[in-house]
Structure 1
Amino acid sequence: MAEKIIKVKNTDDFHDTIAKIIISNNINFIPKISVIIPVYNSEQYLRECLDSIVNQSLYEIEIICVDDGSTDNSLNILKEFAAKDCRITVIKQENLYAGIARNAGIAIAKGEYISILDSDDWFELSMYEKMYNAALERECDVVICGFNEFDQTKHVVTSKQGVCKQFCELLIIPEEYSDKLFQITNPAIWNKLFKTSFINKFNLKCSYTKSTNDLNFTYTALYSAKSIYCINEYFINYRINSENSISLKRAKFINDWIYNLTKLKKDLIDKNLFNTFKKTYEQCVIGCGLYEYSQFKDKKDPNIKILKKGIKKLVSIKNYIKFVFKILKE
């Protein structure tokens, strides 16, 4: 078939972009879930990722793979899988990073729910069946699951994360948990299932930045949702210390992190919601800031000054002092 050009709407601080649908799916059902996978130079892990999606126990899904200007064999692998599975759509764009690739996938998603994954991870085969059923049973806008952190260099699961235990199996109303809403889960997009109509209603988009481009999407979804459900299972195997992982280089992108948290605060203020969510927002900044600090191997790295300066602008003096004392203890 002929390639189809799509215009991708991005956040209001970035221009619209162009992507091409080079392979369209050939399904005869309305998908229960649209699975969106940005792909950039993931040939080493891509087959394992896709195998764990095409073999999900929930069959009625569409799989939208967005090649973000890969220079390795990733695009050919996508074509290979699309030739074998009619549920796969392949989109191609220039290298604009994962956030814009995610927006391209959202632009054509037709599923009742949307899931956005990373191409170097792999997933338990019951993930979508269980998360979809949970979403229907609880009639919620967002379902969250846990993940296994898998160290690629050691080949072991180092921890289980993603959902704070005290919130598991609870139906969470954001206003009732306003003081700790952002502490329910991690800021990543990939361990969450979102209702498509909810994404469209609030015009949720990922940022154009190279790192932390899902932070605003995730937290905006949490405070905008009518209800959220945290499932007490670990469906995602999240690879750390992999060769192409942005998280390995995140200390270099500290300005992206500050930019996205600044935008989140501005959005809350503009919507007259900042006072409601101030406590959880500042706890989020401090908690995430400590994590970002831990990623610096060289504690004399000049980017640490940028990190501290950014946090000082985002939180109260009291909370900034708490942050400084905590890093001095390390």
Structure 2
Amino acid sequence: MAPKLSIIVPVYKAEKFIQQCIDSILKQSFTDFELILINDGSPDNSGVILDQYLNKDSRVKVIHKNNEGPSATRNMGIKAAKGEFIGFVDSDDTLEINMLDKMYKTGVSSNADIVACGYVEIDDSNKIINQAISPLNSKLYLEGNNIKEELELLLKSNKTLGYASLCNKIYKRTFLIENQLLLNETIKIAEDLCFNITAFLKAERVCSINEGLYNYRRINTESIMNSKDKNFYLHLSARNEILNTLKNNGIAPKVLMKTRRYENCKTIADYLNQIIDITKSKTSISKKYLMIKEIIHEEYFLKAMNDYDNNYLLMKARVIVNVLKIYLYITLMAKKLTKT
């Protein structure tokens, strides 16, 4: 007999917190679930720890695979899942003891395609540092066209419906299958947000539990989210994918334009931070000049500079941007003159 819930946990270099995570799931007041633990080629002892749970609880399933990243790992979990609803948990996070019970009962009683709850952010010592408890903008449910309307309303304030994460939600498995919903494996950041945008806009009914039932651990030194050097271009490509996802799902042009200009401002700010880092480096002035010249001619930067909202930039950033625009204009004119 199929379980009522399938909980998918992608695991990579998570030996510090994975036991806390698994224990919080196995101790849930709701018991009719399968726990799919997927070792994504972890080089530490995470895989060994997962195997130890096989003999402790019959609900546990362990899959070992080569490292492909969280999106591919979650997609494998979706394909392996048998539950009526599917949920995701990150390997360093924990659940409140009644989370699955409340989520499943809400999903069944309301016939929802998606159920979202609030979450609490904690640090490495389990201290609460933030909380977000109204995933549907204080509403308990949305259905039909109201879902898109609410999403567009929140986008105007640079927010998103349901929060970006996969982990504060459960999804009806037949809904995911019928709509062929899987995570985009080509991006490493914001893949959960892109998935949720599409999922919410395809859903007939979504429900909310306005309680912080999911404990999200914000600090994890092994996480991709804390690797500054690697993140720069990952963020840029992710922003493009967010905009493509909104466009492909029929978001109103005015809302899309506002979101694009906001995202472009974030791109500009990221480039300005790169420029500041270069100016503070110990390299020669001539090398600094060449490095700055190179990055401000990159396609991402030029595209953002052509379509942004000045109001989202701080005054200091506006001044720097204007100087760069003048420099780029002079450079462009100089190139045209040399061709004539």
Regarding TM over 0.5, the answer is yes
CA contact (8 A) 1:38 1:65 kept: yes
Match of 2:204, SS state, is coil
Distance change (3 Å), C-alpha of 1:80 and 1:210: same
Distance change (3 Å), C-alpha of 1:289 and 1:56: farther
Structure 1 residues without counterparts, runs of 5 or longer: 1-28
Residue 311 of structure 1 deviates from its aligned partner by 8.3
* Aligned mates of 2:197, 2:305 — CA distance in 1: 17
From 184, 200, 203, the equivalent of 1:225 is 203
Q: Answer with 81-90 or 261-270: which moved more.
A: 261-270
Residue 64 of structure 1 deviates from its aligned partner by 0.6
Show the counterpart of 1:321: 310
Residue 266 of structure 1 deviates from its aligned partner by 3.2
Match of 2:180, SS state, is coil
CA contact (8 A) 2:28 2:99 kept: yes
1:244 aligns to 2:222 (yes or no): yes
Residue 179 of structure 1 deviates from its aligned partner by 2.0
Structure 2 residues without counterparts, runs of 5 or longer: 279-290, 319-340
CA deviation map 1:147-178 (0-9, x unaligned): 111122x6421110263574342335313425
The AA in structure 2 aligned to 1:192 is K
CA contact (8 A) 1:142 1:225 kept: yes
* Aligned mates of 1:135, 1:288 — CA distance in 2: 37
1:110 aligns to 2:86 (yes or no): no
| Matched pairs, number | 295
* Aligned mates of 1:165, 1:79 — CA distance in 2: 38
Residue 230 of structure 1 deviates from its aligned partner by 1.8
1:137 aligns to 2:109 (yes or no): yes
1:266 aligns to 2:244 (yes or no): yes
Distance change (3 Å), C-alpha of 1:237 and 1:292: farther
The structure with the greater share of residues assigned to strand is 1
CA deviation map 1:45-74 (0-9, x unaligned): 010000001111111101111100011111
1:177 aligns to 2:153 (yes or no): no
* Aligned mates of 1:212, 1:325 — CA distance in 2: 25
CA contact (8 A) 2:118 2:133 kept: yes
Distance change (3 Å), C-alpha of 1:121 and 1:180: same
* Aligned mates of 1:164, 1:291 — CA distance in 2: 26
Distance change (3 Å), C-alpha of 1:242 and 1:181: same
CA deviation map 1:59-103 (0-9, x unaligned): 110111110001111111111111111111111111111111101
* Aligned mates of 1:291, 1:261 — CA distance in 2: 8
* Aligned mates of 1:145, 1:214 — CA distance in 2: 16
Show the counterpart of 1:20: none
CA contact (8 A) 1:160 1:234 kept: yes
State the TM-score, normalizing by the size of structure 1.
Answer: 0.77
Match of 2:16, SS state, is helix
Show the counterpart of 2:33: 61
Name the % identity: 28
From 181, 196, 220, the equivalent of 2:173 is 196
Q: Residues 21-170 of structure 1: matches in 2 within 5 Å? A: 29-152=1-124, 155-161=126-132, 163-164=134-135, 166-170=137-141
Show the counterpart of 2:234: 256
Residue 250 of structure 1 deviates from its aligned partner by 5.4
The AA in structure 2 aligned to 1:320 is D
* Aligned mates of 1:327, 1:274 — CA distance in 2: 33
* Aligned mates of 1:315, 1:127 — CA distance in 2: 45
CA contact (8 A) 2:85 2:171 kept: yes
CA deviation map 1:275-322 (0-9, x unaligned): 37x51684487379759969x98772479978x9748858993x5333
The structure with the greater share of residues assigned to helix is 2
The AA in structure 1 aligned to 2:163 is N
